[in-house]
């Protein structure tokens, strides 16, 4: 199991700790703040509730989290060291000196810095080739982007290794090949921030109105297409060239004040702070974090369905996790109900009662049925050849509650697998707690005629093998049940 050292346990450092820990890494934290353990614990609570639900396969088993009073203890043996101390260059250079005297020479040292260039961080370092900028975005445990900024001092093999390690925990490492102050993304944010300050100062818009303009309009577009692809679409059939010709002249108009900055006076700070309190002060920071996480997970899971933007990154990450996530038929003790689903309950699977929506049990059991079909040989290749199973009837019993972040498993017993007929009984658990059962009756169908047909001999043989192995299992409680007419 790999080890990551987190130097600085604030909001960003805590997010890094959560990302590594929930992806199976051991995490060591060094932070002199006596409140660091509490703060990181609260970030972890939110991460455990939201991050696992982005994946449709289970994350690795959680690593071990430890807190260390000495920097040397935290970094020894760590494969990745993430520095997230305050934005003071003298402090960062002092930290690097101490940790490089103790850390593995092959360890990667990443800095969360928003503004400093990697050449500045490498200045006077014992091993400058170890240090790169790995700038994340909050919340680090959900958002995929990492701005990876090396210099010529960093060997290509080291940069490639950094990219692969970041991808292995679900990040999208954007390799920035030429360093610049504030990298790429924060330069955009700074431009919008400067313009927003003027709009508030000049009394044109409040903080709430500016946020509404972003989140109700271009913010949604940018979330899935970015800037240039959005404008390419805006150009219509003629594309980007037409857009540039149509809107290019506007660059000469005095629309923005990007070359000017309002004086950061106490009055301006008070004005913005008061408006922000009126806008969001009814929520605690933890409540706002959960609102943010709910929205991010919902948007990114929607993008997964389109395999677009951040959704494509999540699908690629699921593909890394999927091999070995569920056992094959050869790896399974088929004399017992077979593990057919293992995942976390996503935030968007919960309803107004705060627990898993009843329709999502159907979705989970359908996924378990699909997995059972794969196990007996009715996989994508078989379906492409013209045969499949259609569900004829379902019956679900809701036994207990499941909440967001709960790690659920479904185990499947085959009650009948013969000829055209397949009858399975699913049991959903959280740990040892039974949450629900789902019973499904399916018919094998020819996709050409859309009529019931016999499955392949290989599928018949697989079902016979499972039937023989499970013959000694008791008939499950609830199987064959229906809603009874009241007396």
Give the CA diameter of the chain: 85
Distance of CA 235 to the CA centre of its chain: 32
Tokens 């790169």 correspond to what residue?
A: 132
Host H or E run for residue 229: helix 228-234
Q: Is 13 labeled as ligand-binding?
A: yes
C-alpha torsion angle, residues 28, 34, 35, 37 (rounded to 10): 30
343 touches 56 (CB < 8 A)? yes
Question: Cα–Cα distance between 272 and 265 in angstroms, integer?
Answer: 11
358 touches 398 (CB < 8 A)? yes
205 touches 213 (CB < 8 A)? yes
Question: Cα–Cα distance between 422 and 444 in angstroms, integer?
Answer: 8
480 touches 473 (CB < 8 A)? no
Q: Is 10 labeled as ligand-binding?
A: yes
Q: Is 11 labeled as ligand-binding?
A: yes
Q: Is 226 labeled as ligand-binding?
A: no
C-alpha torsion angle, residues 198, 201, 206, 207 (rounded to 10): 60
Q: Strand pairing partners for 439?
A: 395, 425
> Which residues make up each annotated binding site?
8-13
Which residues are known binding-site members for NAD(+)?
Answer: 8-13
């Amino acid at each position: 199991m790999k080890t990551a050292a987190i130097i600085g346990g604030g909001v960003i450092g805590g997010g890094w700790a959560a990302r590594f820990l929930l992806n199976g890494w051991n995490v060591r934290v060094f932070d002199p703040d006596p409140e660091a353990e509490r703060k990181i614990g609260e970030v972890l609570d939110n991460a455990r509730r939201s991050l696992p639900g982005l994946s449709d396969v289970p994350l690795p088993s959680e690593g071990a989290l430890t807190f260390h009073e000495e920097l040397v203890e935290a970094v020894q043996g760590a494969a990745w060291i993430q520095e997230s101390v305050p934005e003071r260059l003298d402090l960062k250079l002092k930290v690097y000196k101490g940790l490089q005297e103790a850390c593995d020479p092959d360890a990667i040292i990443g800095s969360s810095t928003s503004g400093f260039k990697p050449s500045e961080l490498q200045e006077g370092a014992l091993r400058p080739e170890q240090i790169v900028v790995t700038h994340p975005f909050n919340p680090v445990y959900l958002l995929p982007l990492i701005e990876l900024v090396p210099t010529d001092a960093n060997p290509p093999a080291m940069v490639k290794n950094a990219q692969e390690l970041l991808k292995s925990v679900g990040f999208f490492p954007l390799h920035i090949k030429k360093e610049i102050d504030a990298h790429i993304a924060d330069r955009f944010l700074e431009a919008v921030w400067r313009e927003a300050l003027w709009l508030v100062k000049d009394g044109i818009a409040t903080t709430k109105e500016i946020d509404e303009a972003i989140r109700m309009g271009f913010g949604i577009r940018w979330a899935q297409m970015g800037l240039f692809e959005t404008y390419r679409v805006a150009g219509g059939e003629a594309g980007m060239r037409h857009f540039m010709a149509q809107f290019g002249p506007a660059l000469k108009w005095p629309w923005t004040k990007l070359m000017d900055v309002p004086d950061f006076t106490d009055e301006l700070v008070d004005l913005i702070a008061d408006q922000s309190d009126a806008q969001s002060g009814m929520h605690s920071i933890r409540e706002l974090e959960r609102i943010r996480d709910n929205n991010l997970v919902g948007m990114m899971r929607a993008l997964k369905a389109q395999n677009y933007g951040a959704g494509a990154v999540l699908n690629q990450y699921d593909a890394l996790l999927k091999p070995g996530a569920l056992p094959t038929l050869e790896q399974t003790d088929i004399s017992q109900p077979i593990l057919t689903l293992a995942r976390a309950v996503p935030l968007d699977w919960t309803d107004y009662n705060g627990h898993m929506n009843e329709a999502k049990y159907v979705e989970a059991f359908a996924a378990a049925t699909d997995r059972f079909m794969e196990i007996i040989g009715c996989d994508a290749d078989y379906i492409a050849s013209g045969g499949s199973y259609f569900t004829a009837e379902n019956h679900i019993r809701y036994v207990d509650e499941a909440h967001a972040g709960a790690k659920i498993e479904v185990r499947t017993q085959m009650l009948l697998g013969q000829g055209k007929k397949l009858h399975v009984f699913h049991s959903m658990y959280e740990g040892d707690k039974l949450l629900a059962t789902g019973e499904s009756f399916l018919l094998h169908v020819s996709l050409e005629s859309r009529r019931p047909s016999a499955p392949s001999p290989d599928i018949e043989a697989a079902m016979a093998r499972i039937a023989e192995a499970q013959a000694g299992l008791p008939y499950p409680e609830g199987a064959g049940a229906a809603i009874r007419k009241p007396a």
